[in-house]
Amino acid sequence: MDGLYVKENASVPLEEKQALQAVFQQLHQLNKENGAAGKPELSVGTVNAYVLGPQGQPLASLHVNQAKPKAVAEMLQRAVATLKTPAGKPLVPPSPQSVPPTAEADALVLHLVARYLVPRNQSDARKDVDDDFVPRQTSLGEEQSGQWDALPAEDWFVLKRADWLKLLPAGKIGVGTVWDLDKELAAQLLRRFYPTSENNDPSKNRIDRQVLKATVLSVQDGKVRARIDGELKMKHTFYGGMEDDKFVEATLVGYLDFAADRSRILTLRLIADRGTYGGPATRFGAALRSVPVAGQRP
């Protein structure tokens, strides 16, 4: 529960903000009573894990620094014992938390995954990936899986036809045709090429250098394939409201398949597998791919 985010975010309904403040007030009152009775006080703040009763009354809390798997499990078990909650099936079945957004049939849906990379000789590095820097091998429920570099981050966005057309070249197309991808549209994509951080607002990223150039490799059977090469240097602060000296620097490569009559983009792939963040010691990778829209021709 990030109280500061809820308080400042204009898109959060008023009743949710009021409910959050009510919980905080109850916590402060409970701590006053616990203090007078010599009982332990509950942690209160905007970065805490809370357990609430059926009527919204606070039962337990843990600051994120103490919210290790074992401690969280014990807190939940105490709540079950207090409330005498009977065992049962999950109210919400497990399902993917990141799914494609709805889009028009002629839209271009893009999916981006970004994650930190570690040296391959590191003990928890994945050994099935053949590169100098690879993802970590992490499992849910382990303390080392709660760090910023443990798991990937995902993002989805949709380009309408009028927008994705800007990615294609103007004029006659032939092998060797070279063009720069629309700078403004390319910036929308590149602003999302950064590793996991507390600052997840791409509009706050400042691009100092960007290059995305495409070269036609083949034109065959009504399909054009072009190679994409690029560079990126971008200021991305780790915490949104705190200045630092961290920059994203990456070389990008990918390809673009599209219909020769420019009626649709068939495939877009773009990766940065050797990016750095805040210097060469911190590596990350990011991959952007197009995803077919339901009802769209293959």
Q: Where are the domains of the chain?
A: 3-83, 108-291
CA dist 288 to 24, 58, 293, Å?
41, 42, 16
Over residues 221-240, the mean pLDDT reads: 96
Mean pLDDT of 188-198: 94
Which has more pLDDT, 231 or 68?
Answer: 231
pLDDT given at position 2: 46
Q: Under DSSP, is residue 55 helix (H, G, I), strand (E, B) or coil?
A: coil
Q: Which of 245, 244, 254, 256 is nearest to 285 (CA)?
A: 254
Give the per-residue pLDDT at 3. Answer: 47
| Mean model confidence pLDDT for the chain | 89
Residue 276 near residue 283 (C-beta atoms within 8 A):
yes
255: nearest Cα among 264, 265, 247, 246: 265
Average pLDDT over residues 229-248: 94
Work out the number of other CB atoms within 10 angstroms of the CB of residue 274: 17
Long-range pairs of 46-52 with CB within 8 A, sequence gap ≥ 24: 46/1, 46/2, 46/3, 46/4, 46/5, 47/2, 48/1, 49/1, 49/75, 50/1, 50/23, 51/75, 51/76, 51/79, 52/23
pLDDT at residue 167 is higher than 90 = yes
Residue 18 pLDDT more than 50? yes
Share of the chain above pLDDT 90, in %: 57
- Model's pTM, two decimal places? 0.78
Of the spans 71-75, 76-80, 233-237, which averages the highest pLDDT? 233-237
Confidence of residue 5 (pLDDT cuts 50, 70, 90): very low
> Which one-letter amino acid corresponds to residue 144?
Q
